[in-house]
Amino acid sequence: MSEAPPAAREPAGTLDVRRLIDERPLSSFQVGVAVLCAAIVFLDGFDALIMSYVAPALRDQFHIKQPALGPVLSFGLIGMMVGALVFGPLADRIGRRPVLLICPLIFGAGSLLAGNASSVTELLVFRLVTGFGMGGAMPNAIALTAEYMPKRIRAIAVTTMFCGFSLGSAAVGWVAAPVIPSLGWPWVFWIGGILPIAITAVAFARLPESVRFLLRRDAGDRRARGYVAQIAPDVPRSATLTLEEEYRGGFPVAQLFTGGRHWVTLLLWVMFFANLLDLYFVNSWMPTIMKDVGMPQGRAIVITTLFQVGGTVGAIVIGKLFDRNLSFRALALGYLTAAICVFLIGESGTSTVWLIITVFMSGFGVIGAQNGANAMAAEVYPTAARSTGVGWALGVGRIGSILGPNLGAMLVGTTPRLFVYAAVPLMLAATAALVASVVHKDRPT
């Protein structure tokens, strides 16, 4: 018979839940949490990229001039910025579960309304609402997954879970390519609205609250004990559950700058800003750029989805490196790879083969590194500020994601020089990651 895990051998007394989770084999209950979070971010990714694929059809129907497409593409991103900044601290106050139930309802309703928009103004308002819900869902899916995962596999678990976003972003391309010509662009929005509402019903029945959050608020919480029983059924019922972790009272945002975290917080913000600028520039304009240089729209959409596929592979590779304690150095390598490959997209011309390779590898670096940065943000902050830390990093990053489509609107038509410019922010992100690898000191979380 195999030896029992260390936590199970402890006498009935006081058990640190963080240590319990770290030392136990991964349970089906924990896997279920990650799968539900992945489903939510999958639909988040689907709705986030809808505008990129329907933009050419909208341009024709509403007679939108090319420079005016920038605001149309970026309004959802403004909503995502506000949602991340608001729902991150809110979740650290009321819990991850309530926010993860509310946010899909918000972005699902916004997408349904966008499918019925009869003017550009209505579309902008509905995309703002959609983005607000999407921005709140992401940091809390990351935080909840991180808090249920053992430290030894936390990075790969978080990055793999967040691959749902990349797969959702790719799926909208696979849906849009046949749906737009046959049924029209509103159907893409309607599909993106019905599914989040459906997943909310599943999450309401199955998604737990964070054990760490519950114990930080109330050491005797019965729900926390019930969740621990599903992770470790042999833990004595008489054991007292604790969370041995630093806690400083006050506004969660202030905790991002305490405990020696001020530099790593600022550097994470630089990384998120620079990388999300490139991510949304490429995602928003790739189909339009390819169409304008003579590539059929269907083929342009399919090639663009490879950006997300490459990101999925990159996230898994970088997550594995993180779990070997390479962390910020691995991020820097990802950003550098992304810079080189984004530059090479501009050198590919209309060659389908070279575009497939360079777009895939650009996604490997850009999206893979972004998923890695998400995992790092969840790792460096304590429970009391984890959703805030991830949310505010994403919120600051959204400033870059808002600028990306608008800069693209000004630069479209300057290929290949456009992709030279696009490589610059990624070099900035790589530099910030290298500096962070020097100033950041590992802390148990």
What's the predicted TM-score (pTM) here? 0.82
Q: What is each CA distance from 263 to 92, 281, 342, 375, 432, in whole angstroms? A: 22, 27, 28, 17, 10
Q: What is the DSSP letter of 260?
A: T
Query: 66: pLDDT confidence band, cut at 50, 70 and 90?
Result: low
Could you count the other beta carbons within 10 Å of the beta carbon of residue 199?
20
**High-pLDDT (> 70) share of the chain, %:** 86
Burial class (CB in 10 A: 0-12, 13-18, 19+), 196: buried
Q: What is the DSSP letter of 62?
A: T
Cβ pair 77, 131 in contact under 8 A: yes
Q: What is the DSSP letter of 221?
A: -
1-5, 89-93, 345-349, 424-428 — which is least confidently predicted?
A: 1-5
Q: Mean pLDDT over residues 76-91, rounded?
A: 92
Higher local confidence (pLDDT), 404 or 127: 127
Q: Give the pLDDT confidence of 144-169 residue by residue, as tens digits.
A: 999 999 988 988 899 899 888 888 98
CATH of region 15-439, choose from 1.20.1250.20, 3.50.50.60, 3.30.70.250, 3.40.50.300? 1.20.1250.20
Listed by start position, the domains of the chain span 15-439
Q: Mean pLDDT over residues 78-100, rounded?
A: 93
Q: Mean pLDDT over residues 247-265, rounded?
A: 78
Does residue 9 have a pLDDT over 50? no
Could you count the other beta carbons within 10 Å of the beta carbon of residue 77?
29
Token readout for 85 is 């900044």
Could you count the other beta carbons within 10 Å of the beta carbon of residue 59?
16
pLDDT at residue 245, rounded to an integer: 60
109-118, 189-198, 291-300, 346-355 — which is least confidently predicted?
A: 291-300
Burial class (CB in 10 A: 0-12, 13-18, 19+), 50: buried
Does residue 347 have a pLDDT over 80? no
Distance CA 15, CA 213 (A): 16
Distance CA 237, CA 241 (A): 10
Reduce the DSSP state of residue 38 to 3 states and report it: helix
pLDDT at residue 302, rounded to an integer: 77
Distance CA 338, CA 324 (A): 22
Q: What is each CA distance from 106 to 110, 274, 322, 413, in whole angstroms? A: 6, 28, 33, 36
**Ranges 129-143, 305-319, 348-362, 371-385, most confident:** 129-143
Reduce the DSSP state of residue 158 to 3 states and report it: helix
Burial 133-161 (b: 16+ CB within 10 A, else e): bbbbbbbbbbbbbbbbbbbebbbbbbbbb
pLDDT at residue 2, rounded to an integer: 39
Does residue 8 have a pLDDT over 50? no
| Total residue length of the chain | 445
Q: Give the pLDDT confidence of 43-61 residue by residue, as tens digits.
A: 998 998 888 788 778 777 7
DSSP H/E element including 110: helix 96-114
Reduce the DSSP state of residue 241 to 3 states and report it: strand
pLDDT at residue 70, rounded to an integer: 65
Give the chain's mean pLDDT.
Answer: 84
Cβ pair 234, 4 in contact under 8 A: yes
Reduce the DSSP state of residue 4 to 3 states and report it: coil
Contacts of 199 (CB under 8 A, 6+ apart): 36, 39, 40, 43, 104
Q: What is the DSSP letter of 12?
A: S
Does residue 204 have a pLDDT over 50? yes
pLDDT at residue 294, rounded to an integer: 66
Cβ pair 142, 40 in contact under 8 A: no
Q: Hey, what amino acid is at 365?
A: G
DSSP H/E element including 15: strand 14-16
pLDDT at residue 127, rounded to an integer: 92
Burial 367-385 (b: 16+ CB within 10 A, else e): bbbbbbbbbbbbbbbbbbb
Report CA torsion sign: 402, 407, 410, 414: negative
Does residue 443 have a pLDDT over 70? no
Query: 444: pLDDT confidence band, cut at 50, 70 and 90?
Result: very low
Distance CA 320, CA 372 (A): 10
Q: Mean pLDDT over residues 338-345, rounded?
A: 88
Q: Mean pLDDT over residues 378-394, rounded?
A: 88
